[in-house]
Amino acid sequence: MKQFKGHLATLAEQGMLRTLREIESAQGPRVRIDGTDHLLLCSNNYLGLANHPVLIEASCRAAKDFGAGSGASRLISGSMSLHHRLEERIAAFKSTESALVFNSGYAANNGIIQGLLGPEDTIFSDSLNHASIIDGCRLSGARTCVYPHNDVQALAELMAKEQSTRKGRWLIVTDGVFSMDGDIAPLPELVSLKERFDAWLMVDDAHGGGVLGEHGRGTAEHFNCLDKIDLQMGTFGKAFGSFGAYLAATRVVIDTLINRSRSFIFSTSLPPAVLAANLAAIDLVASEEGERRRTQLKANRELFSSILSGAGFDLCGSSTQIVPVLIGEPEPTMHAASQLFQQGIFLSGIRPPTVAPGTCRLRATLMADHTPTELRQAAQAIVHVVKRGLAGE
């Protein structure tokens, strides 16, 4: 205990201690914190579905009809009709043979990579991939080669070099939209590499699903290459406004995971209310309302990022609803975040180890139902606070 206390004290001294903030209202473009109203600029509820009446109604009805819990893991007695309906719906949405629901994106990435690859295999992983992918690679025991972020040329050279000693299966794995930079993976180039080297391609579309592509089918739809991605992983906790995750793939892959994926096998399955919300969310995303919300989100992004880039800030190559503002060192970053919070603007300051040292940033995530006025004021407040901080005032 004494060691832990010392460790926590050290973190606090370094300005690196992480603590929780209590949100006292439902998730929306504004939330109540400490009894006061704040503009929320750090939620992944991109389309505003987390508090949508259609999802709430679907959840309530499913709880009344099927109960609060699923009672067991999928392979015992917890594979309810709603799981099967949701998997059919996901496969149709992604145009794949089959799909499998996981309890969270974290569990999915762990279980998919562990379930499909072993020590004799090789994984090529983008240097900015999500922690759950990194942990999945470790769990699998496969040899993991990390390639520089979005650098297709470097990846091609790495694969060519590995080719001579190749054994086992090869997997290229990438986020679709990167969570800290807001940039998009070059999927068409990755598809040609995976074809050239006879590898699988896995895309984690936690931040692209619902948002990118004409019908919200994600990064692969954005590039018109849905049928080229072997393993399409996505989550329901972000743009879909609910909770849980999935893999869309061939029947053989899904059957293999049902038999081998530890995070799938050894965990109680998602409850009815969550499954019903996910089903309603896919319908909403695919509907005209979904399209309207995507259009609004894009307009919000243009407005917000043009003010910040116009003021000369480095937005880390973002081209999505995730808008980072590069600051550099932890202290000014956290100071700016806390000043903005005092002004009623809640966004996150991001430090190592989440990002590389020297690239600390304010990170804003936008929603379809933020108003232009709210975003204009917030962007101007960010410009003001950061410029004053950099001037040492």
Ligand X SMILES: *Cc1c(COP(=O)(O)O)cnc(C)c1O
Residues that bind ligand X (CB under 6 A): 104-106, 109, 130, 132, 175, 179, 204, 206-207, 235, 237, 245
Rounded Cα gap, residues 34 and 216, in angstroms:
35
Helix (H) or strand (E) segment spanning residue 364? strand 360-365
Question: Quick check: is 238 catalytic?
Answer: yes
Kindly report the backbone phi and psi dihedral angles of residue 57, in degrees, each rounded to the nearest multiple of 5, phi listed first. -60, -45
Which residues have CB under 8 Å from 266's CB, separation 6+?
73
Catalytic residue among 207, 222, 261, 305: 207
Question: Quick check: is 207 catalytic?
Answer: yes
Question: Quick check: is 179 catalytic?
Answer: yes
For ligand X, give the closer residue by CB, 305 or 365.
365
Strands (DSSP E) contained in the chain are 30-33, 36-40, 98-102, 122-126, 143-147, 170-175, 200-204, 231-235, 245-249, 322-328, 345-346, 348-350, 360-365
Least distance to ligand X, CB of residue 232, Å: 13
Which DSSP letter does residue 73 get? B
Contact 44, 239 (CB under 8 A): yes
Task: Categorise residue 358: left if φ over 0, alpha if ψ from -120 to 50, beta otherwise.
Answer: left
Write the DSSP assignment of 115-131 as a string of letters: HH--TT-EEEEETT--H
Rounded Cα gap, residues 212 and 238, in angstroms:
13
For ligand X, give the closer residue by CB, 110 or 386.
110
C-beta nearest to ligand X: residue: 105
For ligand X, give the closer residue by CB, 59 or 110.
110
For ligand X, give the closer residue by CB, 190 or 379.
190
For ligand X, give the closer residue by CB, 106 or 304.
106
Least distance to ligand X, CB of residue 206, Å: 3
Least distance to ligand X, CB of residue 223, Å: 17
Least distance to ligand X, CB of residue 238, Å: 6
Least distance to ligand X, CB of residue 237, Å: 4
Contact 102, 245 (CB under 8 A): yes
For ligand X, give the closer residue by CB, 132 or 300.
132
Least distance to ligand X, CB of residue 376, Å: 27
Rounded Cα gap, residues 118 and 198, in angstroms:
17
Supply the residues annotated as catalytic: 179, 207, 238
